[in-house]
Every structure is written in structure tokens, then in C-alpha cells.
Amino acid sequence: MGKIKDRYAIVGVGESERSKKSETTPLHMALDAARIAIEDAGLEAKDIDGFMSYNENDSCTSHQLATYLGVRPKYVKDILGGGSSTEMLISDAISLIEAGELNTVLIFRSMNGRSGSRMGGGGWDPDMLQTAFEGGSYIIPYGAASPGQWFGLFATRHMYETGISQEHLGHVCVSFYEHAQRNPNAFFHGRPLDMEEYMNTPYLSYPFTKHDFCLESDEANAIIVTSAERARDCKSKPVYIMGLSSRQCHPHAHYWSDITQVASDYVAPEVYQSAGVKPEDIHVASIYDCFSWVVLRQLEAFGFAPRGEVGDFVADGNLRLDGKLPTNTAGGMLSEGYTHGMNNVLEIVRQIRHEYEGTDRQVKDCEIGICTGWAGPDIAGAMILRNE
């Protein structure tokens, strides 16, 4: 995105209770998350003049949320999307604030992802999938109708090309499960994972075991974006947006000349140029982790390890809190919870604010972080954030 460096900030974050069976509605959870984010920013509901959300026909609308908060907003927007939608909606919010149309925007994701409509599970019509998923007619009629099967194919090819092993996938999982032990709100808090257990776990869809899949959860997350000028008057410490590549797309893999390419390869140079930093300047990361392999491929794309060496990078413990690149420090979507990546955004904001100072959760000397989004190999986004 254009010249936005340090001119906009995230000033509030909030999350509802996380569970496997909420016994309530996405609207109720969205209200909980929104109210916490508004309080975190030191604002009132009437200060929010824009509401945005993304969903997969499994949530409430922005208009509903605004209505139940007692607000008549200037602008609402709901999109069909997952993975990289947080970055895209932040970009949209910035554009509208820049144009003078809005002052402050609340973005949320709310879903009963376990007790309601389950991603890739029941309720997904094969005909709808073939229409929505470009190239789906090549694989869905043959039984590959779920994300685990699609991503497994990409992972297998990449592993063959680069020498990544099953153990390298395991190091991602073990590192994130370790982080979850410090997070009492993580699903896998109190349930650590070691490499022996990982390697003895059966495959669900090669090369993925159950540990390589993201979780299903009932929860809502919310963030608030405003200008740097307004951010100075907010209660919590602002986290400034240095650079943003809201969403990069290129044709689906069925049309590529090189099926090992991913959209993150195009996002990376754009977001670093926008922020004016390099990979070595990053202190903490939230890497979209719908599957363990997706983390490895993005670490490559964003320059944290050369192609063919990313396996050694994670095996050396570099994703841990004391590693070179502490990553998904709340446990990520593999072991904390799953809201199509927004929970990872909340965590990196808290790390950059130093909210965990004095505990074993805080990354030391954490001033600049990267947060990535991934809706598939063909769609991605990223943003780079900093402390004051």
C-alpha cells in the first residue's frame, strides 16, 4: 500500500470467550469482542463510525453489530473471505480514513467454527465449492474437497523440491504448542507436545497429522484502526502500521507455470519496501498457520530463511520465544484458537505493546513485528507494525 508509514495505528483489541461450544450466537460473541476493544482503546461506541467484517456465511453482519452497540455508522462492509482478509480490511479502513470519509474503524471476525458451520466440513456443498474455488473442477470431483487435501498436495511438492522433512513440520507444531503452555486461554494450554508424540501420530491427509491442522473454535476477535493523530488520545499504547500489502493475487495453481510459487513471494518485497525495513529488523512474527507447512513456506517467502534451509531454521529453535524469530507466541491457530488469523493479529499487538512485561510470555526487546495473512497459495497479505 502507498505511503502510509506510521500514519495509522491499531489502538484497541478485544476477544470473546474461546470455546468448542459457545451456546450463543456470533452476534453475541462479536458484541463481547467489540466492547472489549472499544474499552481497550478508551473510546465509546459512538466514536466508531466504520464497521467491517469478513465471514464465510457463518457470522453476523457489521450493520447488526453497530445496531446492537447503539451506533448509526457512516459505513459498513462485509466480505466473503478468510486468511488474508484482516490485512485487506485494514487497508480499506486506512483508505477511507485517508479520504476523510471515516475517523475510526472497528474490524471483527466472529464465528462458531466448531459448534456451527465447520470449515471444510458439513454444510459445504460440492457444487458451491467448485464454483467458488477456481480450478475446483479439476480436483473436487475426485474427492479432494477439503483444505487439508489441497494444502497437502502443495506441501508434498514443496517438500520434494526443498528437502523439508516430516520432522521439520513437527518443529513448527512443537514450538507453537510450547507457546500455548504460557497462554491460559489457548486450547492446548496444559497439553504440551513433544517430537516423539508428533512423529507417532497417524496422518490425516499426507503429510499432515492432526497436529499440523489449525483448530476449530467458537470465538470473536475485534481490532480498532484510526489515524496516528487520534491514536495519541487513546488509552492504550498505539501500535503503528509501518507497511502493508493488503492482498496480492495471481492465478490459481492449476494455471501456474511453477506450482511452487505462492502469493507471499509477491507480498514480501512490497511490504518491506512500504515499511522501509528488512527481515533482519523484525523482532517478532505472527505467521498465518492454517497448516504447519504454510508457516515454513512463508518463512521462505519473507526472507527469514533461504529456500531449502527453512527446515534447519525451525529445527534450531528459532520460532521459540528465545529464538531468532519468536513466532505465534500465543500458540497460533495450531494450538491457541482459530479466527482466520485475527487472533494472531491480537497477539502481535500485545507483544509490541509489551503487555506481557514481567512474565515469561514477553519477547525481549520487541519493537517491530510482522503479521502475515494467507487465504491460499494464490492469495496473501502482510503488515509490519512497530511500537512508539
- Give me the residue spans of the domains in the chain: 8-116+218-232
pTM of the model: 0.94
pLDDT in tens, 93-134: 999 999 999 999 999 999 998 877 666 555 556 666 656 566
Q: Which phi and psi (to 5°) does residue 128 adopt?
A: -65, -40
What is the overall mean pLDDT for the chain? 93
pLDDT in tens, 237-266: 999 999 999 777 766 666 677 778 899 999
Which pLDDT score, from 0 to 100, does residue 226 have?
Answer: 99
* Selected catalytic residue, list 177, 198, 288, 356: 288
Report whether pLDDT(275) > 60.
yes
Which pLDDT score, from 0 to 100, does residue 132 have?
Answer: 59
Helices (runs of H) and strands (runs of E) counted in the chain = 13, 11
**Which CATH homologous superfamily contains domain 8-116+218-232?**
Thiolase/Chalcone synthase (3.40.47.10)
Q: Residue 332: left (phi > 0), alpha (psi -120 to 50), or beta?
A: left
pLDDT in tens, 26-85: 999 999 999 999 999 999 999 999 999 998 778 899 999 999 999 999 999 999 887 889
Q: How confident is the model at residue 369 (pLDDT cuts 50, 70, 90)?
A: very high
Active site residue 266: no
* Selected catalytic residue, list 8, 272, 338, 356: 338
Look at the chain and count its residues: 388
What is the residue whose three cell numbers read 486450547? 187
List 241's β-bridge partners, or say none: 385
Active site residue 356: no
